[in-house]
Structure 1
Amino acid sequence: CAWPLSLLLYTPILDKEVEGEYLDQKEPLKIPGCKPVRPDDVAKPMMNRKDPEYESFLSIASEIGVMSDGILVNTWEDLEPTSLKAMREDPEWKQILKVPVYTFGPMIRPGGSSSPRGEVLGWLDMQPNASVIYISF
């Protein structure tokens, strides 16, 4: 979804604009191209700005839009056109997002596993250390 990505990437701007805790705000937080975010709906790391977890979240948010080669989002253009267009074209977004945003999907988890858990873990145990990359969508 583009909405959680928008919230993550826009956190450095919110950090500068919002005084006090996000949860204490009376008005929804505004992110260009997105529906306003109710303070109660912020990501868990944003709930306490004094927590070291918030600093890590803010650091990741500051770096991901400039240090990566691109960002993959599990969505499609027709589902979230306004958010995606804003991330790609809005002048405020261009200040913090310097890499392209690519959509793919929808990717959904199948209802059941096609491979028994033991078989997968057995295969993994047979691989050399540090030779497997786990990617989760």
Structure 2
Amino acid sequence: CAWPLSLLLYTPILDKEVEGEYLDQKEPLKIPGCKPVRPEDVAKPMMNRKDPEYESFISIASEIGVMSDGILVNTWEDLEPTSLKAMREDPEWKQILKVPVYTFGPMIRPGGSSSPRGEVLGWLDMQPNASVIYISF
């Protein structure tokens, strides 16, 4: 999803803008292109700014947007158009995100014996030729 990625990547800016602990904030945190984030919904490493895990989180967030060749997100354009557009075009985002964001999906985990194979193949058959790539991890 683009939302957790947005929160991660935008954390270095929030770190400079927000005073005190995130959990103590009265207002939701604003991230361009995303719905405001309630302070209690921040990622676990953000819950205690004095914890060394927080510094690691900030470091990782700062590096991802500039040191990688691109970012793959398990979503698709029609699901999160506002977040994706902001990440690609918003001036604030351009300060921290220097690499392209690519969407792929829907990526699903097959269930036990009743795999959604028929649904996936049906969806795939409806897509234009050469518009879907296969990625295997």
TM range (shorter): 0.7 to 0.9
* TM-score (structure 1 length as normaliser): 0.82
Residues 110 and 116, structure 2, Cα contact 8 Å, conserved in 1: no
**Alpha-carbon shift at residue 71 of structure 1 (Å):** 0.2
For the residue of structure 1 that corresponds to 2:129, the secondary structure is coil
| SS of aligned partner of 1:102 | strand
Percent of aligned pairs with the same residue? 99
- 1:15 is paired with a residue whose SS is helix
Which structure 1 residue ranges, 5 or more long, are not aligned? none
After the TM superposition, which of the residue ranges 87-96 and 104-113 deviates more from structure 2? Answer: 104-113
**1:105 to 1:21, Cα distance in 2 relative to 1, 3 A:** same
1:40-60 CA-partner distances (Å, limit 9, x unpaired): 000000000000000000000
Q: Equivalents in 1 of 2:128, 2:86: separation in Å?
A: 44
CA distance change for structure 1 residues 119 and 8 in 2, over 3 Å: closer, same or farther? closer
The structural deviation recorded for 1:112 is: 1.9
* Structure-2 change in CA distance of 1:63 and 1:129 (3 Å): farther
Give the TM-score taking structure 2 as reference length: 0.82
Please report the RMSD computed on the Cα atoms of aligned residues, expressed in angstroms. Answer: 8.5
Three-state SS of the structure 2 residue aligned to 1:88 is helix
Q: Deviations over 1:46-81 (max 9, x none)?
A: 000000000000000000000000000000000000
